[in-house]
Chain A
Amino acid sequence: MTTRAAQPRPEGVNWSVLLQRFGLALVYAALAVGLSLLSDRFLTVSNQVNIFRQATINGIVAVGMTLVILTAGIDLSVGSILALSAVITADLLKQGLPVPLGILLALGIGALMGMVNGLMITRGNIPPFIATLGMLTVGRGLTLMYTQGKPFTGLPDAFRFIGTASLGPVPMPIVVAVIVFVLAAIVLNRTRFGEYVYLIGDNPVAARLAGVNTRQMIVLVYMISGVCAALAGLILIARLDSAQPVIGAGYEFNAIAAVVVGGTSFSGGEGGLLGTLLGTILIETLNNGLNLLNVSPLWEQVVKGVVIALALLFYKAINPTRK
């Protein structure tokens, strides 16, 4: 016997790796087949486009959330960031602010609020959960104060195109979401910043000792999350033609759900955007299916919670070393 211990055995398929890689796609396929058998409306083009359009808002928020969770953080304030940036922008657009400036303003507010999150975490040494929980409350409070509890409706048409226009057959929100996903995937997989995000999530102490400016990177990550939330808010108000004071409430939950179902680990450094994309679509398909099957909306929450729990159990089962 001269086999070296470190050599992989040639025979045998590594099922856990396969499952991990394609498990989510398989679940999605099973769900799609099931729904198309149960409802003849499910597999129509208009319904599928509808699913994707519904998924765009959460998908964009979930892109930022993916980066945050990869650094072993969490951003609970995305819903409030979305709300505050949306109402301020809606108000100023109504007062005649040029559309490009309005968009920049919204994204700027998102970046600023994200930066405050990041600074509280890195300079104040406040755990991300607490820091962003604070921002959730503050952001919502400011939104209510700004709106005095009343919605802003009737936005300029020049602005509403990002929610309602189409590029050929593809609705604008989907175009924007695809661009966001592709850009983020390139950044995460091809750039120094992307590498650092994974390294910081894996081991922040080692990252600092390897010369990574961990504080700066983490602030940047929360800023990106804020910008994503603000962008999602723009699309949302453009579609609804209205910015409600309670807009975006609970969106952090949907985004976290998409990321977690997509296989990104809460302990950081493991996962990615492809999973988040699938997770977002899976959750939206599930919502859509429950709708088509006339299941009470009250059940949606329950089903979503169960799905997340099942996803975590599944990842734990195929990879027991995972935290």
Chain B
Amino acid sequence: MTPSRLQLEHIVKSFPGVLAVQDVSLEAYPGEILALAGENGAGKSTLMNILSGSFPADSGKIWLDGVEVNITSPRRAQELGIAMIHQELALIPQMTVAQNIFLGREPRLAAGLLVDTKKMVIQAQALIDQLGLDFPVTALISDLSIAQRQMVEIAKAISFQSRVIILDEPTSALSERESDILFALMRSLREQGVTLIYISHRMEEIFNLSDRVAVMRDGQLVGVTPTKDLTIQTVVQMMVGRELKDFFPKKQAEIGDVILDARELRSGKRVRDVSFSLRRGEIVGLAGLVGSGRTEVARILFGADPLDHGEIKLAGRIVHLHSPEEAIRLGIGLVTEDRKAQGLFLGQSVRSNASVLLFEKLAQLGFILYSKVDAWMRGAVTQLTIRTPNLEQKVRNLSGGNQQKVIIARWLAVNPQVLILDEPTRGIDVASKAEIHTLMSELAAKGMAILMISSELPEILGVSDRILVMREGRLMAEFSRAEASQDRIMQAATGQLAAG
């Protein structure tokens, strides 16, 4: 048996009020991809943050290639050859690829003060070539796609001769094609003997990619099993500790009249002549690669971005939306793609986060009727099974799934006619995901029209009554639930199919 690359022994970590990692022991070998699965809040990220030096463990030991190591800081982890690629990328947008790769250790000219830019570019290019990537190292990070930025992070990790590379949900912001490129890169690193630890919620990817799967639940390691001995169902059961009958529970709602009609929407280069309609009771999936203009369409319908040309009819009447405020008043809601940056007030209470839209209604002379707000809140917490110790809890301390439920609760409070959800289950545990899908079905059954943007095709296929596909700002295809398939959607999204 190969000696292990990495060995964790009895790792324990607690935060105020939460035992995040409870006595976890785990091994990883050279040249393997170890998937780390678990619901949000299961302790995966905490464990990996300990490994990459973000914070110390309370107790436990770590061995790297047979040597016990004390990882005191991210810098120390880097020196030891442990790199973590976070969900929130840590590159500097205003600098070039080469500058980012060599940040803080740029090759110097003889004098020692000035950066040897030429040498830096050559070295960076060599690295990029070695990884088989195809963007110039002189490009600014801000000009690269999210996928390319991740590649830069990986290149940076390689430049440190990393022995262990941890990827925390690398594909959550990637389209399928971009993911494939990333996976090819991961496989080639595996061949070169690198240990990859891969955190993901996406079962298909875990099964495609990994050699073994480690599952965590409630801070504990439930088990580590060779991937070939597992099925998706068993992994999900290990994660949630119970059987999940249906990934995407879909109830058929009665589909009513057209509530929203968008004609020839145009905005800059991102949205070009997009026309579609939504009916009451209908869930419409909006698919397409990242950057295809899906989010921009959502923002236009919500009044967050201006419209250059086109018209929006709501219940038969033309509306001009100049601000989210107006859209909300007219009964349009948007659950944004980026929860933390655009949705949540991280430092504020669960109450404030969930009831921000209610303040308009439940107030007299500007004074908020907190008893009514709280009465509603208690109902919402129960209905959505939001796990929070109390309403004063800062939303920052909730898990991703619960944070998303708080945002959805916010919109339920005002019961919009049209609800747009942009990547509603990205980075969310399986159980919360199913709950959110169920809720969407229930809302549709009550007559709400739902537009759901998603990069996960199984989700699109599982939830939608009708599917729209965008590519490069244009609407490329429309499928009914029966007609749609992963292949057909991908063909339309990648331009291998004429508009249908």
Interface residues of A (CB under 8 A from B): 1, 3-9, 14, 16-17, 190-193, 195-196, 198-199, 202-203, 205-213, 269-270
Contacts and interface: CB of A to CB of B under 8 A. Distances in A.
A191 B387 CA distance: 27
Given A6-B41, A210-B357, A212-B325, A192 B368 contact: yes
A212 B304 CA distance: 12
A91 to B, nearest CB: 36
B368 A206 contact: no
B14 interface: yes
Contact of B399 (A1, A6, A8, A210): A6
Nearest to A4: B218
Contacts of A195: 352, 356, 359, 368
A191 B347 contact: no
Contact of B16 (A6, A16, A199, A208): A16
Interface stretch (B18-26, B228-236, B288-296, B476-484): B18-26
Contacts, number: 108
Interface stretch (B98-106, B156-164, B336-344, B466-474): B336-344
A213 B359 CA distance: 13
Contacts of B323: 208, 213
A3 B366 contact: no
Nearest to B343: A206
Interface residues of B, number: 45
Contacts of A207: 345, 356
A14 B389 CA distance: 16
14 contacts: A1-B22, A3-B218, A16-B16, A192-B367, A203-B344, A203-B345, A206-B336, A206-B344, A208-B324, A209-B324, A211-B325, A211-B329, A212-B325, A213-B323
A211 B360 contact: yes
A5 B218 contact: yes
Contact of A211 (B344, B352, B357): B357
B64 interface: no
B410 A210 contact: yes
Contacts of B345: 198-199, 202-203, 206-207, 269
B377 to A, nearest CB: 14
A190 B328 CA distance: 23
Nearest to B356: A210
Interface string B51-92: 000000000000000000000000000000000000000000
A199 B352 contact: yes
Contacts of B334: 209
B500 interface: no
